[in-house]
Amino acid sequence: MLFKSLTIFLLIGAALGSAVPPTFEITVETTLTDFLLHSPVLRSGETFNAGCFDYYLPVIKGHADQLDADFVFCQDTYDNAFVLIDGSYTYARDELRDSVRASCGSMLLCDGDTTNSKAFECLADKGPSSSKDLDDVSDKAADHQASLLEEVRSIKKTLSDCQLTAQRNYKANHAQSLEEMNGCLADPEWDYPTTVSVL
C-alpha cells in the first residue's frame, strides 16, 4: 500500500511538473490529478497495473506538447499575416507623409520673410490651401486605418479559430487517454495497444 501511495504522488508530481500549461489548460490538467486521487481502481487495491502509467503518461504529455506546437503555429501564422498586411500600407503612409511635409513646409517658408507684414501676408495666402491639403490627408488616413483594421480583424478571427480547434483537439485526446488509462488500470491482463490515439 505504501508503494502504491508513493507511486501515485510521484506520478502527480511528474504530470504537473512536466510543463507549465496555458491558463485554459490548467483546469483540464488537474483532471489527471483528480483521476489519480479518486480512481476507484487505485482506491480499491484489488488491481493495479503500473504499466498503464508507463504507457499513458507520455501519451498524455504528448497531447500537451502537441497543443503547445499548435498554438505556436497559430500565433506564427497570425504574426506573419499581420506583417504582410501592415507592410501593404507603407506606400500609402509615405504618400501622406510627403503631403504633410509639403503643406507644412510651404507654411514654414513664410517665417523666412524679413518683415512681419510679409510673413502675415504669406501665411494668409498659403493657409487655406495648406489647411485643405491637411484635411485631405486626415480623410485618407482615416480610410486607410479603417481598411487596415478590417483586414486585421479577419486574421484575428482566423487566429481565434485556430486556437479553438487546437484546444478542442487537445481536450478530446486528453479525455480519451484518461478513459483508456482507467480501463487499463482495471485490467490486469492489459497489454500495450497496437495503435495510439491520433494527436
pLDDT digits (tens, 9 = 90+) for 61-103: 999 999 999 999 999 999 999 999 999 999 999 999 999 999 9
Q: What is the domain range of residue 68?
A: 2-17+25-36+46-185
Q: Tell me whether residue 6 is in a domain.
A: yes
- Helix, strand or coil, per DSSP, at residue 103: helix
Q: Tell me whether residue 198 is in a domain.
A: no
Cα(61)–Cα(69) distance, rounded to whole angstroms? 12
Q: Tell me whether residue 197 is in a domain.
A: no
Would the pTM of this model clear 0.75, i.e. be above it? no
Number of domains within the chain: 1
Q: Tell me whether residue 177 is in a domain.
A: yes
Cα(53)–Cα(144) distance, rounded to whole angstroms? 57
Q: Tell me whether residue 131 is in a domain.
A: yes
Q: Tell me whether residue 190 is in a domain.
A: no
Between 163 and 114, residue with greater pLDDT: 163
pLDDT digits (tens, 9 = 90+) for 133-184: 999 999 999 999 999 999 999 999 999 999 999 999 999 999 998 888 888 8
pLDDT digits (tens, 9 = 90+) for 8-66: 433 444 444 444 445 444 444 455 555 555 555 555 555 567 778 888 889 999 999 99
Q: Tell me whether residue 196 is in a domain.
A: no
For every residue of 10-68, DSSP letters joined together read: HHHHHHHHS----HHHHHHHHHHHHHHHH-HHHHH-S---THHHHHHHHHHHHHHHHHH
**Among 165, 156, 167, CA closest to 81:** 156
Sign of CA dihedral 72, 76, 82, 85: negative
pLDDT at 35: 57
pLDDT at 171: 95
